[in-house]
Amino acid sequence: MKREEVLQALEPALNLKVRTVDHSPGVRVTATAERVAIRPSQGARWVELSEDGVKSLSSFINIGWPVAENLSPDTFGRVATELLRKKDQYGLVYRDDVIQSVVKGGAHMVDADRALTTIERAIPGIDFHRALVDGTKIELEVIGEQETPVVRGDLIKAGAMVRFSPVGDITPQVQAYALRLICTNGATSNTVLREFKYTGGSGDGDNGGGTDNFWGWFKKSVHDAYGSLGEIVKQYQQMLHDRIPANQRALLLEGMLKQAGISGNDANMVRAMALQDPPNNAYDMMNLLSYATSHLLEKPGAIRKAQAVVADYSSEEEHASVCPLCRGARKATRRDSTAIIEAPHAS
C-alpha cells in the first residue's frame, strides 16, 4: 500500500477531535430511551453520545455494556454521573459534535502522518502491507527488504506491527512481524511485543519525557522489531522439529481454533486445509492458523485475537502453556513426578 492509500484506510480513525475534561463535581449524564448525553461541568452545553459512545462510557466507568444495557435510562444516568464524578481526568472523543468514545486522561495521542514518516525512516524499503482500523484504534503491518528462509523455498520477510491511537485510548505498541512470501500469511512474535510497549508520559515538547522522547522510542522500537527476523526464523525452524502425532492433530487443531476465536465457515475452511495437507509439525499448525488471519478473517478485533494465539504458539516461552497437546503432556509429567515423590511415603 502507498502512503496515500494507508491514510485513506485510516480516515475513520483520523477524523476525530478530543476534549480533555478535568475533574468536576458538576458533570452529569442524562439518559432517555432515545438518547444519552453528557454535561462535562456545571454550565457547559450538553453533548449527545453515539451508540458506540454509550458503550465506551459504560466500559470507562467499569460497569460493562451487558450490565448497562439492562439498567433503566434513569438508573444508568445516575450511576454514570456518580462514577464520572470520581474520575480525575478523561477525554471525550468527538466526530461531528457527537461523542464517539470516552477514554482515560493522560493517554498518548499519536499523529498518524508522523507515525508513517517515522516508520519509513526506521525500515529500509518500507512497504505498508495492511492497515486495520477498529474504532479509534489503528494497527499497521509493515515490511521491509530483509528476508530469510525457514526452509528452502519458504522465505520469510521482516517487518513490524505497530498499534496506536490518534486519540490515545490504547498504549502504543510495536511488535516484530514476519510475512511468508509463499503467500500473504503473516505471523507475529509475541516474545518481542513485551519489549516494545510504550510506558512514557504524554507531555509535549522535549521536557520531562514528552513527545520527542516518544518518537525516539517509536523509531527505535520499529527498527529493533524489524531486526528481530533472525530470532523469529530460529523459533520457526525449531517448530519444524516439534512433531505432531497423527492421532493428535484434530485435538490440537480444535484447541487452537477455539483459543483463536475462529468458528463457523472460517473454522471449516481451516479444517478442510488440514485434511488436504495434514500438519506434521508445530510450524505447519502455526501456518494453518496464521493463514486464517491473512485470508479468512476480516474484522480487526478477530484478526488481532487470532494473531495473538499464533504469536503465543510460536513463542518457545509460551508454547507449552498454549498448546493443548503440550499442556496435556506437561500435566502427565507432573502427575508422574508427584507419584515418584509420594511413593516412598506410601510404603
Decide if 177 contacts 159 (C-beta within 8 A).
Answer: yes
**Are 119 and 199 in the same domain?**
yes
For the chain, the helix, strand and coil percentages under 3-state DSSP, each to the nearest 5: 50, 25, 30
Split at pLDDT 50, 70, 90, the class of 331 is: very low
Tell me: do 99 and 116 sit in the same domain.
Answer: no
Domain contains 337? no
Q: Is the pLDDT at 41 greater than 70, yes or no?
A: yes
Radius of gyration (Cα) for the chain, nearest Å? 24
208 within some domain:
yes
pLDDT in tens, 93-149: 988 899 998 988 766 889 999 999 999 999 999 999 999 998 888 999 999 999 999
Is 343 within a domain? no
Condensed to tens digits (0 to 9), the pLDDT of residues 287-304 reads: 999 999 999 999 999 999
Residue that terminates a domain, selected from 85, 104, 123:
104
Considering the domain architecture, whether residues 155 and 200 belong to the same structural domain is answered as yes
Beta strand ranges found along the chain (DSSP E): 17-22, 28-31, 36-39, 47-48, 89-95, 98-104, 127-134, 137-151, 154-164, 173-180, 185-188
Whether 117 and 223 share a structural domain: yes
Contact call for residues 35 and 47 (beta carbons, < 8 A): no
Task: Give yes or no: residues 117 and 218 share one domain.
Answer: yes
Residues 144, 249, single domain; the answer is no
pTM of the complete model: 0.76
Region of residue 125 (phi > 0: left; psi between -120 and 50: alpha; otherwise: beta): left
In a domain, 5, yes or no: no
User: Could you tell me the residue range of the domain that residue 58 belongs to?
Assistant: 14-104
Residue 199 lies in a domain: yes
117 lies in the same domain as 166:
yes
186, 196, 14, 183: which is closest to 122 by C-alpha? 196
- List, for residues 153-212, the tens digit of each pLDDT value: 999 999 999 999 988 878 899 999 999 999 989 998 877 776 787 876 554 333 334 456
For every residue of 63-97, DSSP letters joined together read S-HHHHTTS-HHHHHHHHHHHHTT-SEEEEEEETT
Among candidate residues 152, 174, 194, 181, the one with its CA nearest the CA of residue 287: 181
In a domain? residue 292: yes
* Residue type at position 11: E
Rounded Cα gap, residues 227 and 239, in angstroms: 21
Q: Contact 46/32 with Cβ under 8 angstroms? A: no
Q: What's the pLDDT score for residue 162?
A: 95
Q: Give yes or no: residues 135 and 191 share one domain.
A: yes
1: in domain: no
Last-in-domain residue among 70, 104, 138: 104
Q: What are phi and psi of 159, to 5 degrees?
A: -165, -165
- Number of folded domains that form the chain: 3
From 228, 251, 267, the end of a domain falls on 228
Query: 341 vs 335, 336, 337, CA distance in Å?
Result: 10, 9, 6
Which of 20-34, 111-125, 197-211, 310-324 is least confident? 197-211
